[in-house]
Structure 1
Amino acid sequence: MRPSESMHNNDLDSDIPEEADLIIMSDDAGQVYAPPAHIAARFYRNALTRRKSSAASSRRNSLSSTHSHASSRSYHRGASCQSNHVAQHLRRASIIETRKARLADRAAHAEQVRLRAALAKAAPRASASTSEERALAAHVAREKYLAQVAASCAEEVKRAKKIAEEMKERKREEEKRVRIEMEERLAEAEKRRTEYKKCGRRMRTTSGVGATGPKSLAVVEEDTDVEAEISTLDRETAAQLLQRAWRTRRRKLIVDAYSALNLTIDRVRDTSFDDMSTLLAEQQVLDSASKALRLFGLQEADSTQAATTTRTFLSVYLILGHPAEVLSKNGHQEQDLITKANDLMICFESTLSRLASWNRYQPSEEQVETLSQAHVTFTTAFAAWRAQDSSALVETMVTTFVELDGIWQTVKDDTRGEVASDYKEGIRNNQVILLSKITKLAGHSQAQFLIKKAINESRRRRRVRRRPAAEVRPRAAEEVADASSSQSAVADVQTVVQFAANQETAPQYGAAHSSDFARLFSRMPDNRTLTHELAIDKEYRIEASPLRDAVNEELCKRMQEGFAQGQGTLWTVAMAENIREKLLRTLRPTTSMHTLVSETLDSDHVYTQCTAGVFSYDKFFSFMASVLPKLCAPFRDAEVNALAEELQNSGSADVETMISMLSRLLHVIDILSLDHSNFLLMNIAPVLIKESAGYEQRQFAQDLESGEITLQKTKRWWRNASVNMLTEADRRDPENVRLPEDRPTAHKIYARGLVDLAICPSTLQDDEVPETLQLDTTRLSGIRADVLRITTIGAILLNLKNMLRRDVRTKWKAEATRLWDLLSKDGYEPESAPKVLSILESAHNMPPATRTQLSSHVSRFLSQAAAGRLADPVLKVLFQRLKSHVFVRVGASSSADRVRAASTASEGLASHGFAEFGERVGRIVEVLGRVGEVDWAAHGQWYELVAREVREAGDAEA
């Protein structure tokens, strides 16, 4: 029989009960016998603790176990089964196979573990950078977690504050309700007490008596008792009662008068700031408030500061109702002031509301003490805020006073028309107003000291470039008559400035070196440039060429090479001739000094000495040391005497030292020659300034006729300025009324074009400058650079002030000056950012978070300034504010408008974030104003022609 059939038979046999079982079941079918405890514990086990079936690989579920179980059952039931030997063999084989599989799995797992350990051992350890990255990641994770914790804590605090405010509000409402009820009860008790005092005994009732007779008797008796009681009072008691009633009524009138004003925070907020300021300044309001303060003991009746105390108290309403108009910023000090003002107002209104007839309109001692403490706290905070605010205002007004003085110093010497008189009247009126305000804030003596010090410093800076004529006049210079006294001194400016075109040719000796010597002669500015610069700046002086020292060094180097090649004679003769010609140009031909220099440094004489070998550089240097002090101006004495001493002590030296001394000599001679030219220019400057407009006009007309220049760039520039002005006019006229008076004038259009040309973040290009302003290209480029630097530094300082919660009007002049020098020297390179931070950190302590934030701002500002594209909102806003400020001042058409704009300039710049740059912006406005005046005087007819063409073209398009 097959095993399957045997198992099937066994299953069938197991379902059929044995005969003995049937007998037992039939006998004991109705009874159940419980087995002993130890046997029941073995058979009836807990289902929760019963062992679950094992895996398929266990012995109990193995094939051999199945066969063994089946064989056992078959054996006991009498069925045929396989031998015990076969079953044990199969079971043993199954166990062996299972163990082999398990061992193979363990070996594979061990091999994987070994491989992973080998790979981990072979892998390189984490480098320092990896550790830093992990540390940084851990720091970032920690900061993130702390931020989350802080946010959750902030939410909890906010929720707790909200709950506390609600509880406080409910408590306040409950207190108010209880207070009203208590006041009503006390009023009722006071009423009953008064009635009881009037009636000394209990009124009789009408029980058991007629309705009329007894009642009348009771009234008569009551009146009789009251009269008797009153008649029994002495004069002192009666006087006290009358005084008490009079004081009560007086206090009631004070309370009613102040309550009638209806001064509440809600009303103040609903009313405009100007109207409320006018209301609080009325005498009736001041008197009522002063009486109320005296009622609460906050002000003494005979105090000299009564008016100030009253105004300080009334300022609480403006601070709480209009904080934006009253406070200049929203800093920590301002927030503290608002909080203390709110506390004072709550305490005052609470105390005022408790005054009633039952307490004779007299506050309790506790209420007076609480109100007094709140008033003192607010007064102290208000005084501190006002001191800081007034110091900034005083400094700003002093700067404005000095700027007005600078304008007067500029125009006071102007004798053309009535310009000086107009400016004088306007400047004087504004200075009187400023002086009164400064005196009111700082006191008379302090105001005088501050103004005098600022004016002296300003005038001293203006006198730096100006020296007396006696100091700058060379000793050998000829006397120049006052050209302004002669009406026909010049027929044309070109004949006046011929001294500037007196250029000499190079020495004939050493033809190979003539070009090198020609480079030593600094070319004077052309006539048109010279007159134009003098018209803009009457103190204009010709500056030394920056390449002159470099050319001298290069020439001396080649001279040394010539000496090494045996060409010393040619170089000596050429150098002597060069020095001779320079010195003779500064001397009068008929003087003895002219003769001495001409004969001593004669080229033939020097050549003869060099050829004979008797020329000595020691004697040459000694001669120059004796001549130069007699030729220089007095203010050059120290420099020339130092050189003369070195020339005297040079002695016999080698060629290198000799050429070095010769280079210094050439440098000093060039300076003396330039001083001589500037002295002549200073004497002839009045004539040049007077004739500058006509001369420049004729020169420009000649260039137009010859075709050297056109007006194409001027027309394009004017058209752009006109479009910008018309666009602004349309923006101010949304209804398109287009009134004739709103149309921009030619002067406004010119001012707008000039400001647009001078104030721009990008670099000035040649095609942007009109032909009429070509001579001012360098000046306009410098203004652009200054404006960009002012904007960048202003943005940096403004951000730091806001981070540190400082007043934006506070002047950080030292930091601004250091940043200006740094950016002027290093530019806007990325390397400048750490230097900027170090300057600011050395002046102001800042936390690490503020420094990190400021560093990002500084880097962004410098990068945008270097690119000439201001994309940051702070930079854009500051730049537009500065441009608008300059346009308002430059576009002022009358002297009164200019003085008015200058008088408010410092305050406007301080509020815009440029408190440190009032003087620099003032100089920019002054330069642009002078450029505009000179340019319009010289090219006004062409501007009118261009304006007419642009206007006609615009009308044709419309």
Structure 2
Amino acid sequence: MSSDPETPQIYELPPRLAARLNRPARKSAAASSRRSSMSSLHSMRSAKAPHPRLNSAHIAQELRRTSIIESRKARLADRAAHAEKVRLRAQQVKSAPRTSRGEDRALAAQQAREQHLAQVASNCAEEVKRAKKIAEETREKRSAEYAKLREEMNERLAMAEKRRLQYQQNYRRHRASSQATIDQRKSMLGIKEPLTEKSAAKLVQKAWRAYQRRKILSDFLDLKLDIAHVQSKTFDEVSKILSQDEVIKKTGRLMKLCGLQDVIGGPGGEITAIRTFLSAFLLLGHPQYVLSHEGDREEELMDRAKVLLLQFQRVVSRQPTELNFSPNSPIIASLSEAYSDFQLAFEAWKNHDSTNFIETMLAQFAELDAIWQSVKNDTTGHVAADYKEGIRYNQTIVLARLKRLIGPEKALSLVNDAVKARRRSKGTKRPTGDVRPRSTTTQQSVSVQLEDTPPTDPISAPDARITSSELNKVISPLPENRVVVHELLVNKDYRIELDTASEARQKLSRTVFDAMRRDLSTGDGDQWIMSMASILRNKILRVIPNGKPLYAQVSETIDLDVIKNQLSVGSFSYHKFFSFMNNLLPKLVSPARDPLVKAFVADTGDDYVERLAKLMNIVDLLSLDYSNYLLMCSAPELIKHAASYEQSCFAKQFANLPLTKTKQWWRNARDKALSDLASRPDQSRPTSISSQKIYTVGLADTFISVNPFEDSIVPETLELDISRIKKTRNEILKMMVISSIILTAKNLLKRDVRMRWKTQVNRMWDLPESTAFTDPSPYLSILESTQAIPPATKNSLAGTIDRVLTDARSTPAISHPVMKVLLQKIRSHILGRLIAASSEERLRLATSASEVLSAGGLAEFVDRIGLIVEELGKIKQVDWDAHGKWLDEVAEEVARDERS
């Protein structure tokens, strides 16, 4: 706006605008900033250039934009590729099967466990292989040492004998000098110098010792105790000779002279050493009586006994003047070494054999306790008084022997365990829980009367019309009174069991309820409902005491007249009936049946017949529990009158019927008893025999047999024991099979037959019935799991098992010799104990049962055979008391037929 354009004027800004516009300059960006780049500076300069027409500025700007865009595209492409990679990884993880942390841990633990077990198995296999190798090397080394020692000993003996012969052949008197010495002249002239007291004492002592040695040796030689003399006499004679005090005294003096001392020590060590030495004569003279079998220990013992007696024979065969009894003498040292080896081997064999002896004595003690438990409650026949003293005396002897062998505390502990185990095996199986009905807890007294029960008639046709009493007899699970009384006589702890698994009972119940369902569907089931109501009413009221409020409630609710009127007008309600029973049953049944009642109450289906069947089952269990309660309370009174009751029942059943089967059974038993007596040595066939012995033989043949069971072989007097006969026959067959296998295995493995293999036998006994006599593999696997069996022995044992099972399946054609011998031993043992007349004889046989059966290869079945003997003894007594009159008549009739 100045008029003078040549001189421009400068104007100052106001303070407020100057302060706003004149701010401090911003700091430069970082070196990595886009504005500090060369392209950015170049573009800024080109933009501020005074000549914008130049194309270089535009070109730089375009290049910068292009580079920025390309770098951004590259970064975006990298980000997209990374995002796609992450998305694919997430998709793979999502699609992969998911496993929980617990499953992973379990899988890892299982893999680690398998690896550990495989490692342990490989280590164990290596250890077993190493142990076997070491044992084999030790055995070979020991055998080689024994062979080497035996050869050296033989060589020494041969060299000594050779030197002795050479000395005898080349012996010549040494040439003496021509001039005798002064002492020789004096001796020739009989001139002796006087002896001193000391030298004279030495000469006397030397002569006395020589005399004592000669006397000790001559006293022993007078006994004529050598192998040839021992073998020429029987075992009993030799045992009697060796047990004489004179023989023991003379042998002890000679052993002391030879320096044979007791190696084991302890009280009575001197007598033990003498008896151990004398036992070598028995071992070599009668090994079949001393050793039960041939094993490694027995072979070693026989070899050392032979070496000992050979060395001893060398000593006693020489003259006393030729022997030097000093311990440094070679012949005495050899004898002492041989005796030490024999004594150690004898102690090892005796300790191994004492284990079986202890088990046998424990079985004897338990058998005596079982006999006492069976007769202690007998007061009428005075059996307890006869047995008490004998049982106590024998138990005292057995316990004293056990205390002497293993100590008082251990003996008492083992005896208590054996008695408890025997009593547990004898006890009956009881249902778990309280099975007493709740309604019986308030009853003060119980009385039971035996009433005759007519035989039950089955349903002849599915659509038959039957009354309530007939239907009750058909579907009732309770046995007849005669059966209950008979079982109570045989077993005073007998309790009735519900045989719900019986095929006949299931078939019968199914037939009854199918007929009921069919009639209900056609509208003709009123008679069925009335019969079922009558059965339920009678069974429930039988359990409830009369006069209780619950008794009146049941009587009013299950009123037969009311139910009949409701059925006639069609107003009977199944829902109300089952609701009443749902409320009633928990008040009646025992606590042990509560789960079954809860399941019945929870069932609200429309199949009333099925619900009624379940209800009848629960009421049957209620009646069963109540009957067992009454039976437990009244058992002592029932047993008093049981024999007369069974006689009356038998008389009514066979009043006009001939006892055909009993007569034939008696005839067969009589022939068998006479043939058994005639087969004994130095006896002819007898003409008469007692009735008790004939009956016992027939009873034993009926129960102890492997022939197929037939009803015709069972007499009418034993018809109530058919189930017991079948059970006992099956047990006898199983005993024969298992004992044959175990006995063969012991003989092949050179084990003692008296040793009890309880674990193996129990596992074989528990094999299922379906495969017990068909599959041989379980038996072999059980033996392999407990015994190391070589391949050759395994093949032989497998063949034996196959033959035994084949014979068991093809009874009565048993051809295996071991099974035949075992059956004969079982029969003879049981028959001998049943025939024993006096209590002393029965007690003696029971006490020696363990030894007899163990020696016969039945060591594992001593308890089971004892239970069979006890059961057969009770059956014999019960049957003879109830049917003795008829059996005597049959015996007289058979005798008349024989005479005619």
User: With structure 1 as the length reference, what TM-score do the two structures score?
Assistant: 0.68
Compute the displacement of 1:262 (Å): 1.9
Distance 1:450 1:801 in 2: 26
Q: Which residue of 810, 813, 817 corresponds with 1:873?
A: 817
Aligned residue runs from structure 1 range 80-159, under 5 A: none
Compute the displacement of 1:643 (Å): 4.2
1:128-180 deviation per Cα after TM superposition (whole angstroms, max 9, x unaligned)? xxxxxxxxxxxxxxxxxxxxxxxxxxxxxxxxxxxx9x999997995575365
Cα 1:250–1:671 shift into 2, 3 Å? same
Paired AA for residue 931 in structure 1: I
| 1:324 and 2:291 aligned | no
| 1:921 and 2:865 aligned | yes
Compute the displacement of 1:755 (Å): 1.0
2:365 maps to what in 1? 401
Q: Which runs of 5+ in 2 are unaligned?
A: 1-147
- 1:556·1:663 contact (CA, 8 Å) conserved in 2? yes
Compute the displacement of 1:713 (Å): 2.4
2:231 maps to what in 1? 269
Q: Which residue of 573, 586, 592 corresponds with 2:543?
A: 586
1:771 maps to what in 2? 716
2:421 maps to what in 1? 457
Aligned residue runs from structure 1 range 662-811, under 5 A: 666-706=616-656, 709-732=657-680, 734=682, 736=684, 743-811=688-756
Paired AA for residue 875 in structure 2: V
1:821-840 deviation per Cα after TM superposition (whole angstroms, max 9, x unaligned)? 215353423xx212222222
Distance 2:609 2:319 in 1: 101
Cα 1:855–1:617 shift into 2, 3 Å? farther
Compute the displacement of 1:919 (Å): 1.6
| 1:281 and 2:265 aligned | no
Distance 2:335 2:422 in 1: 50
Q: Which residue of 494, 498, 515 corresponds with 1:540?
A: 494
Cα 1:236–1:182 shift into 2, 3 Å? farther
- 1:355·1:363 contact (CA, 8 Å) conserved in 2? no
Cα 1:885–1:200 shift into 2, 3 Å? farther
1:848 maps to what in 2? 791
- 2:665·2:713 contact (CA, 8 Å) conserved in 1? yes
Compute the displacement of 1:361 (Å): 4.3
Compute the displacement of 1:605 (Å): 7.4
Compute the displacement of 1:421 (Å): 0.5
Compute the displacement of 1:898 (Å): 1.5
Paired AA for residue 839 in structure 1: I
Compute the displacement of 1:563 (Å): 10
Compute the displacement of 1:517 (Å): 7.1
Moved more, 242-251 or 840-849: 242-251
Paired AA for residue 679 in structure 2: R
Secondary structure, in 3 states, of the residue corresponding to 2:440?
Answer: coil
Aligned residue runs from structure 1 range 171-190, under 5 A: 177-178=161-162, 180-181=164-165
Compute the displacement of 1:203 (Å): 4.7
Distance 1:942 1:861 in 2: 41
Aligned residue runs from structure 1 range 883-894, under 5 A: 883-894=827-838
1:409-454 deviation per Cα after TM superposition (whole angstroms, max 9, x unaligned)? 1111111132211121222222223223333333322221111111
- 1:711·1:771 contact (CA, 8 Å) conserved in 2? yes
Compute the displacement of 1:582 (Å): 3.2
Aligned residue runs from structure 1 range 402-421, under 5 A: 402-421=366-385
1:797-854 deviation per Cα after TM superposition (whole angstroms, max 9, x unaligned)? 111111111111111122222222215353423xx21222222222222122222222
| 1:297 and 2:251 aligned | no
| 1:858 and 2:794 aligned | no
Cα 1:409–1:614 shift into 2, 3 Å? closer
Distance 1:753 1:186 in 2: 84
Distance 1:260 1:505 in 2: 88
2:595 maps to what in 1? 642
Compute the displacement of 1:889 (Å): 0.9
Distance 2:886 2:513 in 1: 50
Cα 1:520–1:669 shift into 2, 3 Å? farther
Paired AA for residue 680 in structure 2: R
Cα 1:562–1:812 shift into 2, 3 Å? farther
Distance 1:858 1:432 in 2: 42
Distance 1:761 1:268 in 2: 45
- 2:456·2:474 contact (CA, 8 Å) conserved in 1? no
| 1:367 and 2:331 aligned | yes
Paired AA for residue 496 in structure 1: Q
Distance 1:876 1:503 in 2: 43
Aligned residue runs from structure 1 range 470-509, under 5 A: 472=436, 475-476=439-440, 479=443, 481=445, 496-498=449-451
Paired AA for residue 595 in structure 2: A
Distance 2:748 2:850 in 1: 24
2:48 maps to what in 1? none
Distance 2:815 2:457 in 1: 54
Compute the displacement of 1:273 (Å): 1.1
Cα 1:200–1:439 shift into 2, 3 Å? farther
Paired AA for residue 373 in structure 1: E
The alignment covers a number of residue pairs equal to 739
1:73-95 deviation per Cα after TM superposition (whole angstroms, max 9, x unaligned)? xxxxxxxxxxxxxxxxxxxxxxx
Distance 1:769 1:612 in 2: 52
Compute the displacement of 1:393 (Å): 1.5
Cα 1:952–1:168 shift into 2, 3 Å? farther
Moved more, 288-297 or 559-568: 559-568
Compute the displacement of 1:662 (Å): 7.1
Cα 1:943–1:461 shift into 2, 3 Å? same
Paired AA for residue 640 in structure 1: R
1:65-122 deviation per Cα after TM superposition (whole angstroms, max 9, x unaligned)? xxxxxxxxxxxxxxxxxxxxxxxxxxxxxxxxxxxxxxxxxxxxxxxxxxxxxxxxxx
Alignment RMSD, CA only? 4.4
1:836 maps to what in 2? 779
Cα 1:601–1:432 shift into 2, 3 Å? same
Distance 1:718 1:759 in 2: 16
Secondary structure, in 3 states, of the residue corresponding to 1:826?
Answer: coil
Distance 1:678 1:735 in 2: 53
Cα 1:340–1:653 shift into 2, 3 Å? same
Aligned residue runs from structure 1 range 548-559, under 5 A: none
- 1:472·1:675 contact (CA, 8 Å) conserved in 2? yes
Distance 1:793 1:300 in 2: 44
2:847 maps to what in 1? 903
2:478 maps to what in 1? 524
Paired AA for residue 544 in structure 1: L
Moved more, 836-845 or 474-483: 474-483
Secondary structure, in 3 states, of the residue corresponding to 1:822?
Answer: coil
Paired AA for residue 406 in structure 2: A
- 2:545·2:551 contact (CA, 8 Å) conserved in 1? yes
Structure 1 vs Structure 2: percent identity of aligned residues?
34
1:611-634 deviation per Cα after TM superposition (whole angstroms, max 9, x unaligned)? 59894699557514xx42x4344x
Q: Which residue of 876, 893, 896 corresponds with 1:949?
A: 893
Distance 2:382 2:534 in 1: 54
- 2:661·2:714 contact (CA, 8 Å) conserved in 1? yes
Cα 1:362–1:373 shift into 2, 3 Å? closer
Distance 1:470 1:187 in 2: 102
Cα 1:467–1:554 shift into 2, 3 Å? closer
1:148 maps to what in 2? none
Distance 2:457 2:541 in 1: 12
Secondary structure, in 3 states, of the residue corresponding to 1:531?
Answer: helix
1:15 maps to what in 2? none
1:937 maps to what in 2? 881
| 1:357 and 2:300 aligned | no
Paired AA for residue 334 in structure 1: E
Cα 1:654–1:188 shift into 2, 3 Å? farther
Cα 1:253–1:473 shift into 2, 3 Å? farther
